[in-house]
């Protein structure tokens, strides 16, 4: 009796799993285990093998699996030579399943990472890391209190970090970047070399501009734009390059020792 | 009876938002700006004791928050015998303030390596780890520029160290190795970006060819006498098809060079030369 009951329960679970992978656009809640070191461990199936325990690490640029998993899940041929830390280099995983969340086509690194090996000694086998190359493809919310992460696809396509890093090391990186405002605002700032305070001085405001209409005046000090601190010209240009013409932006300014918030819609134009 | 039941439900539902506002009083979500570095790290900025900003990698793989030794020294911070230091104020960009925050005042070998090779494109000053992260619910979407932090009513357990300083077992050596290589190959962080101000020309995005709606006083456009009603035909000899197109061309125009605009005014084609402005 108990075994039939369990079987029923299992097929029920399987059915649930199938359903949730069909509704791939729905947010998916994945429970995690928290190690005594504060690390997040999720249970992951690789090409339908496993589950394996992997760290969820926002500080890791790439997803990484051990050579053991790579062999078992037929990610690489076992005969492939391992070099640095048992690294088989870059590989592609057809399917990576975290809870009921299934990700296709994952670029991973095969490596027996020494830190992971040390952790495995203390907390049982850990077979890799979920890094940026996987998690960036989702909007996610980490909740340590609930021990869960909620994932929803965001259509982001991550760069090939390893290639970008190799290019950088070989000196193939691009020229210096240009930061250019989105939209036309109508003000100018300055930062004197002796000025080490927060923010920038507004030295002119164009009459009739959107920023003049929002209430900015010469002599104000701009502290932030859309929550980004504007302590340097570079900061301000970065923040304005991230804003969107014809959409609301939020400025924090200092006037007569009082902090005010102005809402402005940068005008279309160049 | 039904009326009473409905009224009661309505009352109950009406009460809910009030309750949740009360509960949210302590924990309003805070929008924290972040950047994705060239090395695919999520970086947030923080001011420490009103100094900075400093760049921190958001790292669920770090058990505690680290602040690198060198910037720490420049702020006059001193650590105890175990490397801990209490920061009076740790303010994350966007406005999340932690007071009397405990950090490890040391440079993890990963940072030594990354900064040595200039992998991120910008200097990294620390890692934000479990001890601060776990107190919050954190929503991240890499395709956006802001993440959302909400304080939880939750006290995370103090994390355990695995085996002291050398849990990297060989990787720490790799960190200094990369720094050495970096020094040999002369790797530097990215140059300061070029800053391109606006031309002060306000354009109707729905017009074709693009029509000037207004020109801001004293702007580069004003100085070459661009007028309301002018039509923009060409930018640096390329035809302009849309405002999006024009904005992209302006953003990617070569640095230090003047901008050529071809304009149609009252059946006359004019060639104008402008210098990008300093204002926004």
List phi, psi (to 5°) of A133: -60, -25
Q: Residue A34: is its pLDDT beyond 50?
A: yes
Q: In this predicted structure, what is the pLDDT of residue B24? A: 44
Q: Nearest C-alpha of chain B: how many angstroms from A236?
A: 9
User: What percentage of chain A has pLDDT greater than the value 70?
Assistant: 83
- Candidates B61, B163, B173, B186, partner chain A, best to mutate (most A CBs within 10 A): B61
Does B216 sit within 8 Å of A58, measured CB to CB? Answer: no
Q: In this predicted structure, what is the pLDDT of residue A90? A: 78
Q: Tell me the whole-structure pTM to 2 decimals.
A: 0.84
Q: Residue A55: is its pLDDT beyond 50?
A: yes
3-state SS of B78-142 is: CCCCCCEEEEEEEEECCCEEEEEEEEEECCCHHHHHHHHHCCCCCCCCEEECHHHHCCEEEEECC
Does A184 sit within 8 Å of B200, measured CB to CB? Answer: yes
Does B134 sit within 8 Å of A114, measured CB to CB? Answer: no
Q: Nearest C-alpha of chain A: how many angstroms from B136?
A: 7
Using an 8 Å Cβ cutoff, are A165 and A109 in contact?
Answer: no
Q: In this predicted structure, what is the pLDDT of residue B184? A: 57
Residue ranges of A 92-111 with Cβ closer than 8 A to chain B:
none
Q: In this predicted structure, what is the pLDDT of residue A175? A: 67
Does residue A232 sit at the B interface (CB-CB below 8 Å)? no
Using an 8 Å Cβ cutoff, are B95 and B30 in contact?
Answer: yes
Strand, coil or helix: A250: strand
Confidence of residue A171 (pLDDT cuts 50, 70, 90): low
Q: Nearest C-alpha of chain B: how many angstroms from A9?
A: 32
Q: In this predicted structure, what is the pLDDT of residue B96? A: 95
Does residue A180 sit at the B interface (CB-CB below 8 Å)? yes
Whole-number Cα distances in Å, A67 to A41, A79, A250, A252, B119 = 19, 11, 49, 52, 26
- The b/e string for B93-116 (b: 16+ C-beta within 10 A; e otherwise) is bbebebeebebbbbbbbbbbbbbb
Q: Which whole number is the average pLDDT over A215-219?
A: 96
Does residue A154 sit at the B interface (CB-CB below 8 Å)? yes
Domains annotated on chain B, with CATH: 30-152+170-185 (2.40.70.10), 201-274 (2.30.42.10)
Across the interface, of B138, B162, B255, the residue whose CB is closest to A178 is B255
Nearest CA in chain A to B145: A242
Q: Which whole number is the average pLDDT over A251-260?
A: 96
List phi, psi (to 5°) of B55: -95, 125
Using an 8 Å Cβ cutoff, are B272 and B224 in contact?
Answer: yes
Q: In this predicted structure, what is the pLDDT of residue A248? A: 96
Comparison of pLDDT for B250 and A88, the residue scoring more: B250
Q: In this predicted structure, what is the pLDDT of residue A172? A: 56
Residues found in chain B: 280
Using an 8 Å Cβ cutoff, are A87 and A113 in contact?
Answer: no
How do A128-130 and A63-65 pair as beta strands?
antiparallel
Does residue A170 sit at the B interface (CB-CB below 8 Å)? no
Q: Residue A22: is its pLDDT beyond 90?
A: no
Q: In this predicted structure, what is the pLDDT of residue A169? A: 67
Q: Residue A178: is its pLDDT beyond 70?
A: yes
Distance CA A29, CA A52 (A): 18
- All residue ranges of chain B with pLDDT < 50 are 1, 5-24, 162-169
Q: Which whole number is the average pLDDT over A5-26?
A: 44
On chain B, the residues whose CB falls within 8 A of the CB of A135 are: 142
> Count of alpha carbons within 13 Å of A87, Cβ hemisphere only?
10
> Count of alpha carbons within 13 Å of A160, Cβ hemisphere only?
8
Comparison of pLDDT for A113 and A10, the residue scoring more: A113
Does B214 sit within 8 Å of A208, measured CB to CB? Answer: yes
Q: In this predicted structure, what is the pLDDT of residue A184? A: 97
On chain B, the residues whose CB falls within 8 A of the CB of A167 are: none
Distance CA B222, CA B201 (A): 8
Comparison of pLDDT for B38 and A81, the residue scoring more: B38
Q: What DSSP character marks residue A81?
A: P
Domains annotated on chain A, with CATH: 22-164 (2.40.70.10), 187-264 (2.30.42.10)
Which range scores top for mean pLDDT: A13-17, A164-168, A241-245? A241-245
Comparison of pLDDT for A79 and B149, the residue scoring more: B149
Q: What is the pLDDT of residues A151-165, one digit of tens each?
A: 999 989 888 777 777
Across the interface, of B117, B127, B152, the residue whose CB is closest to A145 is B152
Does B193 sit within 8 Å of A178, measured CB to CB? Answer: yes
Does B159 sit within 8 Å of A37, measured CB to CB? Answer: yes
Does B168 sit within 8 Å of A206, measured CB to CB? Answer: no
Q: In this predicted structure, what is the pLDDT of residue B136? A: 95
Tokens of B222: 């004003």
Q: What is the pLDDT of residues B64-91, one digit of tens each?
A: 999 999 999 999 999 999 899 999 999 9
């Amino acid at each position: 009796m108990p075994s039939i009951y369990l079987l029923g329960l299992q097929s029920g679970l399987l059915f649930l799993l199938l359903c949730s992978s069909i509704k791939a656009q729905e947010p998916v809640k994945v429970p995690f285990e928290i190690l005594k070191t504060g690390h997040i461990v999720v249970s992951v199936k690789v090409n339908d093998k496993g589950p394996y325990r992997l760290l969820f690490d926002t500080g890791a640029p790439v997803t990484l699996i051990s050579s053991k998993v790579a062999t078992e899940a037929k990610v690489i041929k076992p005969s492939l030579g391992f070099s640095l830390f048992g690294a088989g280099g870059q590989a592609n995983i057809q399917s990576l399943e975290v809870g009921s969340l299934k990700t296709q086509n994952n670029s991973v690194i095969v490596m027996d990472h020494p830190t992971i090996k040390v952790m495995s000694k203390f907390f049982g086998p850990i077979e890799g890391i979920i890094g940026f190359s996987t998690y960036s493809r989702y909007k996610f919310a980490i909740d340590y209190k609930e021990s869960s992460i909620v994932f929803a696809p965001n259509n982001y396509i991550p760069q090939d970090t390893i290639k970008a890093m190799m290019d950088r090391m070989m000196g193939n990186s691009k020229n210096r970047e240009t930061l250019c405002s989105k939209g036309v605002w109508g003000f100018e700032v300055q930062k004197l070399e002796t000025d080490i305070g927060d923010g920038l001085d507004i030295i002119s405001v164009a009459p009739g501009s959107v920023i003049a209409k929002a209430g900015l005046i010469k002599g104000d000090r701009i502290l932030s734009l859309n929550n980004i601190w504007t302590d340097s010209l570079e900061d301000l240009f970065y923040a304005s390059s991230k804003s969107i013409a014809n959409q609301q932006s939020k400025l924090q300014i200092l006037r007569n020792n009082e902090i005010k918030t102005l809402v402005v819609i940068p005008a279309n134009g160049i | 009876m039904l009326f009473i039941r409905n009224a009661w439900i309505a009352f109950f539902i009406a009460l809910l938002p009030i309750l949740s506002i009360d509960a949210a009083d302590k924990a309003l979500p805070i929008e924290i700006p972040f950047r994705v570095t060239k090395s695919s790290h999520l970086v947030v900025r923080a001011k420490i004791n009103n100094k900075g900003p400093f760049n921190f990698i958001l790292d669920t793989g770090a058990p505690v928050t680290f602040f690198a030794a060198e910037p720490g020294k420049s702020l006059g911070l001193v650590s105890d015998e175990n490397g801990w230091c209490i920061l009076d104020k740790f303010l994350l960009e966007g406005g999340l303030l932690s007071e009397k925050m405990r950090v490890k005042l040391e440079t993890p070998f990963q940072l030594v390596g990354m900064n040595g090779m200039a992998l991120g494109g910008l200097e990294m000053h620390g890692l934000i780890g479990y001890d601060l992260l776990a107190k919050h619910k954190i929503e991240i979407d890499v395709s956006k520029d802001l993440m959302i932090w909400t304080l939880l009513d939750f006290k995370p357990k103090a994390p355990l160290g695995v085996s002291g300083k050398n849990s990297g077992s060989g990787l720490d050596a790799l960190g200094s190795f990369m720094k050495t290589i970096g020094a040999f190959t002369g790797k530097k962080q990215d140059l300061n970006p070029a800053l391109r101000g606006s031309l002060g020309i306000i354009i109707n995005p729905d017009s074709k060819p693009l029509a000037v709606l207004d020109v801001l006083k004293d702007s580069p456009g004003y100085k070459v006498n661009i007028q309301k009603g002018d039509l923009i035909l060409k930018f640096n000899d390329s035809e302009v098809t849309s405002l999006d197109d024009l904005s992209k061309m302006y953003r990617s125009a070569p640095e230090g060079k003047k901008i050529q605009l071809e304009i149609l005014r009252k059946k006359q084609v004019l060639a104008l030369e402008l210098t990008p402005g300093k204002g926004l």
